[in-house]
Structure 1
Amino acid sequence: MGTTLGFAEDELRRLAGSKSFERGLGYLSSVSTLEIGESEITATVDGTDAYEVELTEHEDGLTGWCSCPYGQEGNFCKHCVAVGLTVLRQAESVPRQRAAAASRGRQLDAWLESLTRDELLSLVREHLAGDRCVRRRLELRAATAGGDPGAVRERVLGLLDTRPFARYGYVEYADARAYGLQAAEAVAALRTWMGTGRAAEAVEVAREAIAALGRTYGEIDDSDGVIGDVATGLAEVHLDACRAARPDVARTAEWLVDHLLGDLNDATDIALSDYEEVLGEAGMTRAHELVVAAWRANPKGWAEKYLMEQLMTAEGSVDALIAVHAADLSPTGATHLLIAQELERADRRADALEWAERGLREADLDQGPDSRLVDFVCERYTRAGRPAEVVAVRRDVLLRRRSLAAYQDLRTAARAANCWDETERVRALDTLRADARRKSLVHSGSALVDALLDDDDHDAAWEAAAEGYADGHQWLTLADRVRDGRPADALAVYLRRIGPLLTQTGDAAYEHLTELLLSARACHRTLGTQDAFAAYMAALRTDQKRKRKLMALLDRHGL
């Protein structure tokens, strides 16, 4: 890291956002105990409490950490801004302060090197007595060096114990970092131990460590992924230890499958394929037996299905993989689609289309088929030059799922087949109109009005809305669309929407009211009735004069 600063005020604003940046300006006088190191900047900022702040410069930019609640959510907070701005205001002295930090580091190293063995031991013992975490880490290193498996196991599991960091059984974000640093010592110790010829013992302890962390992982706020890195490290140590020790392959396969089928693999994300070389043919055969037995006992279990899919994919057995999917078919046809995709990858296109078509036929009548399955079938029909069948599929989807998207898809297909205007549009609109009659449309409107608007058939859309098939949002959209050609009708819609807003307060209500008034003014201008609008606005302003924010907003828009 160079002696000059690697960030500027614009970077602080980008990281914090405008609001936090502006608030940070008010905390410049609250920054104290500022220390500028070679790459880190630390300080205390007095707010609701005294918050610790740490800024770190990396090659790819600046990061900030703060002990305040907002900072603990991973945000670059106002306190980080205040520290960054304070440093920028004394940028000229940064090279000197960084040089001094480097000098202090060298001075500390020189002093430590000058101490005798007894003096160093005394210093270490002094810190061991005052820092429990340091003591536990050194105890683990001592046990590792001494080769006592029981002691190493005890210390490793002790480092993974969350209780010293937990509050009411949960490790909060503020404490996860410290816990992660401690837990990482367990990974380092196991790797060191493995390097001393203790790979077989490391296999066993690593398994216990993986299980211990897996049991508590859901009780830790690991937003930064620190604990996930520890879990990955434990999994890597276990695999490396297995490669070195070559433990019994059947027992290893049993542990592995049991772990993968359990609830503790979320943290480590171990995959069966990672162990293929360690297990060899005999071990993989045993793993295959265990996975198949577990799947047969619980074919709908997510873990069993996923593991079986992994196994069949690795073995290249398409028919066996299809059997796994077919044992638990989704009512939406989503599983049929997975099967079709697998068959296509195996260049069995006719079988793939047959499974996809079956998915359409077997889909739940109320839910309808998965949209991805519908797209899959329609794309294959299109490639095969079967446009009429694409229309039939899209028509069936509209009957089950009466939505604007389904209408648009049918329109696209029917136009490609040259049958939209003559037959399909009338039939589709009848379907949506029948659906609108059955539903209560007060809060959701109707797909009928949406479809007519999407067709730019404004007269028909207005007629449908007048029949009661539109909600408030659709009425506004319709008014905006017809305002130039039917200003009186549009004005009536705007005035109906303005009335209820006059009794409301708040920025959102004022902004919406202003938008409606601007639209109403446009209608009056088209009608040539500006005097009527002026009288209306005068009465409105008199009635609403106590709402100062609203008055200011109206002034800004010339209303």
Structure 2
Amino acid sequence: MSIQLGFTEDDLRDAAGPASFSRGEDYAGAVSGLDIGDGTIRATVPGRETYRVELVVAGRAGVAGACDCPYGADGHFCKHCVAVGLAALRQTVSAAPEPSAVAVPAPRPAVARPDREDLLAPWLESLDRDALLALLVEESAADPGLRDRLLLRAEVARAERPAVRDRVKRLLDAGALARGGYVDPEEAGAYARDVTQAVTVLRALIAADRAAEAVDGARWALWRLGEVYELAGGAEDLWDLFPPVQDLVAVHLRACRAARPDPEPTARWLVGHLLGPVGEVTGADPVDYRDVLGPAGLTRALDLATEAWRREPGGKAKRLREQLLRAQGDVDALIAAYATDLAPNGATHLRIARELDEAGRAGDALEWAERGLRAAGGRHDVDHDLVEWTCARYVRAGRLDDALTVRRGLFRAQGSLQSYRSLRSAARACGCWEDEREAALELLELLRAHASRGGVVPGLGHPARTLVDVLLDEGEVDAAWEAAAGHADDRQLLTLADRMRDHRPADALGVYLRLLEPLKQSTGDQAYDEVTRLLRSIRACHERLGTAEEFSHRLSALRAEFKRRPKLMKLLDENGL
């Protein structure tokens, strides 16, 4: 009996792609700390640094993985994930017992293990000072990255303030990043690593009880990054910088909480930063600074944001003012700010409703939501979330008729399949679906006729195709087929053909043949898969019609036409075509 992991080498190759799989094979022998758990595999793999890898068996999807290397951090199944997967497969093969005629008892159910992270902190707390020092020396010797971080902390703890300041400035000097007055996107990754190192320096300052220096250093760094951002002319060339910049904001907040700087200048800095070039991409939220600013600081920040908003209504200043009102906890003032610029589709009304609901004022919240629906009237672009939020509140209060009224109005405004389904659910809850269904179908018929005469109904898209989708959703295939004439798109025609193949094979055959024709000009795996699928369906129609010989002639002609496409020929052979 062999041990089963739930994935194979082919699964690893599919997840990583041929290039990363090939590179991962070279690293498989270097995997260390392999820990195979119930559906999860963890290990480390050396590279420029020592990277941590976690694989998760994903059932039919094979295997998923996460690695903290730069390529893995972007969501890719990297070579380190491949290496760990291969190492796990090889270990399970080597651990498998020799074949035996003796019956092997069924394996015992896996015992749930406590989370490994939950074990770590209590164990570290149980060690005395000497044991902790010995552990750090041992681990830093085995992990160059950890050793470098500890050395950096030691250097920063002993360095004078000017030396630390100069080090941060050298790291954030744009240097190679900016050439000829613009930012070179190819250098952004290297610069991001320098920003990360600057963050490490600032964390070391906090650990050394020099949080005030870390506050100043973080503010200078964010100002410098604002210059880089403006030089780049936007965010599209600086994606690599976003995570370390957000780390920089986080370390600034942590330093502020440790150093407790004067609230007034902190308020001025925070407003200036959030209204500056990188404010909107750093993830800073005034609510997080509530304990640092205190009531006086929050008031000062709100005054500054209000002045900026009055000079230039809308944009960053408007959002910042709303954030600061939320931080102050003044719900009525926040609602008054929202109410100065209500979106016509009801989206702002929903924001107000949610703020009131969170404040425990459910009645006021529902009233604002209802005002939003009335303001949107029969607009086809009424805010979807507003409709859902309001109907959910009606259902919760037992006001099913009110929910049905909203759903009916939305269907009349949009005439979409989704609004039809929502209307059906609401009407069934009220026990009146048959009447509603008849009226809804009549409306779609009228809209289809209006559109066929050249009439335009804003926001309703293609009423004839919506009618086809609705009839299919209702299971009325023959009626959908009649409605589809001259209106349905290829997706709908294929669905119709599949669903009427058994009882209307001639009509289905006509659809399949029509859809096959343009595919003859296409190449590639996706096109070949679709050709094969259609040919199987065409064969089924001919068998149902008793014209199997005609299909044989058709298939022979097609194979002769495409004999120079070996991948397609192989696929047809595999499917018995």
Q: Tell me the TM-score normalized by structure 2.
A: 0.70
Q: Does 2:158 correspond to 1:158?
A: no
The count of residues paired between Structure 1 and Structure 2 equals 490
Q: Deviations over 1:28-73 (max 9, x none)?
A: 99889x989999755xxxxxxxxx7655357999976889xx7796
- Residues 396-475 of structure 1 mapped to structure 2, 5 A cutoff: 396-422=409-435, 423-434=438-449, 436-437=451-452, 438=454, 446-466=465-485, 468-475=486-493
Give the gaps of 5 or more residues in structure 1: 1-7, 43-51, 92-101, 110-132
Give the gaps of 5 or more residues in structure 2: 34-42, 57-64, 93-133, 142-147, 230-234
**Is the alpha carbon distance of 1:435 and 1:555 closer, same or farther for their aligned partners in structure 2, counting shifts above 3 Å?**
farther
Q: Deviations over 1:401-439 (max 9, x none)?
A: 121111112222233334433342343333542465258
Q: Does 2:403 correspond to 1:393?
A: no
Residue 275 of structure 1 deviates from its aligned partner by: 4.1
**Contact 1:378–1:393, Cα closer than 8 Å, also in 2:** yes
Out of 524, 527, 547, the position equivalent to 2:542 is 524
Equivalent residue, structure 2, for 1:282: 296
Q: Distance in 1 between matches of 2:538 and 2:327?
A: 66
Aligned residue for 1:421, secondary structure, equals: helix
Out of 535, 541, 557, the position equivalent to 1:539 is 557
Q: Distance in 2 between matches of 1:358 and 1:254?
A: 38
**Is the alpha carbon distance of 1:59 and 1:21 closer, same or farther for their aligned partners in structure 2, counting shifts above 3 Å?**
closer
Equivalent residue letter for 1:291: A
**Contact 1:445–1:474, Cα closer than 8 Å, also in 2:** no
Q: Tell me the TM-score normalized by structure 1.
A: 0.72
**Contact 1:487–1:527, Cα closer than 8 Å, also in 2:** yes
**Contact 1:340–1:352, Cα closer than 8 Å, also in 2:** yes
What's the RMSD between the two structures over aligned residues? 4.5
**Is the alpha carbon distance of 1:435 and 1:454 closer, same or farther for their aligned partners in structure 2, counting shifts above 3 Å?**
farther
Equivalent residue, structure 2, for 1:18: 14
Q: Does 2:51 correspond to 1:56?
A: yes
Q: Distance in 2 between matches of 1:420 and 1:83?
A: 56
**Contact 1:55–1:63, Cα closer than 8 Å, also in 2:** no
Residue 477 of structure 1 deviates from its aligned partner by: 0.8
**Contact 1:28–1:86, Cα closer than 8 Å, also in 2:** no
Out of 508, 513, 516, the position equivalent to 2:526 is 508
Q: Deviations over 1:325-383 (max 9, x none)?
A: 11121222111112122333444444333322221222276543111111223334444
Q: Does 2:279 correspond to 1:265?
A: yes
Q: Deviations over 1:276-320 (max 9, x none)?
A: 44444433332333334334444532x334333333334333221
Out of 256, 260, 268, the position equivalent to 1:254 is 268
**Is the alpha carbon distance of 1:183 and 1:256 closer, same or farther for their aligned partners in structure 2, counting shifts above 3 Å?**
same
Aligned residue for 1:485, secondary structure, equals: coil
Q: Does 2:488 correspond to 1:476?
A: no
**Contact 1:299–1:327, Cα closer than 8 Å, also in 2:** no
Larger Rg: 1
Q: Distance in 1 between matches of 2:11 and 2:550?
A: 51
- Residues 321-332 of structure 1 mapped to structure 2, 5 A cutoff: 321-332=334-345
Residue 492 of structure 1 deviates from its aligned partner by: 1.5
**Contact 1:65–1:74, Cα closer than 8 Å, also in 2:** no
Equivalent residue letter for 1:283: G
Equivalent residue letter for 2:513: L
**Is the alpha carbon distance of 1:153 and 1:502 closer, same or farther for their aligned partners in structure 2, counting shifts above 3 Å?**
closer
Equivalent residue, structure 2, for 1:316: 329
**Contact 1:476–1:494, Cα closer than 8 Å, also in 2:** yes
Q: Distance in 1 between matches of 2:68 and 2:288?
A: 36
Residue 455 of structure 1 deviates from its aligned partner by: 1.0
**Is the alpha carbon distance of 1:190 and 1:157 closer, same or farther for their aligned partners in structure 2, counting shifts above 3 Å?**
farther
